[in-house]
Amino acid sequence: MYCPGGVCEIQVKDPVQKFNPAQLVILLATVAVMAYGTYAYFTKLETRTHFGKMVKKRVTNMMLSKEELQRLQELKEQEEFDNF
């Protein structure tokens, strides 16, 4: 059998090429810090874009408890009733 360029050989990764648990921890920590930084940036500044308002609303609602969400819904309904 003819194998040009060694394509028939089994390729084994060297230890330097493997993804180890320490790299996974670093990756997850980096992603978490970036996500928190983005959230903090959008919530601390005045949002003037549609995207900023959408992110602020959705993420804030995800972090609220059921009681807080219920209270916000009641306040919104009361405000709509008062404005009617």
Query: How do the domains of the chain map onto residue ranges?
Result: 19-83
Q: Nearest-5° angle of CA 73, CA 79, CA 84?
A: 125
Q: What is the pLDDT of residue 6?
A: 67
Name the nearest CA neighbour of 59 among 83, 40, 79.
40
Cβ pair 70, 57 in contact under 8 A? no
Q: Band of the pLDDT at 1, cuts 50, 70, 90?
A: low
Is the pTM here over 0.85, yes or no?
Answer: no
Angle at 74 between CA 63 and CA 47, to 5 degrees: 50
Report pLDDT for 34.
Answer: 97
2-60: pLDDT as tens digits = 777 767 877 788 888 888 999 999 999 999 999 999 888 877 777 788 887 887 778 77
d(CA 27, CA 16): 17
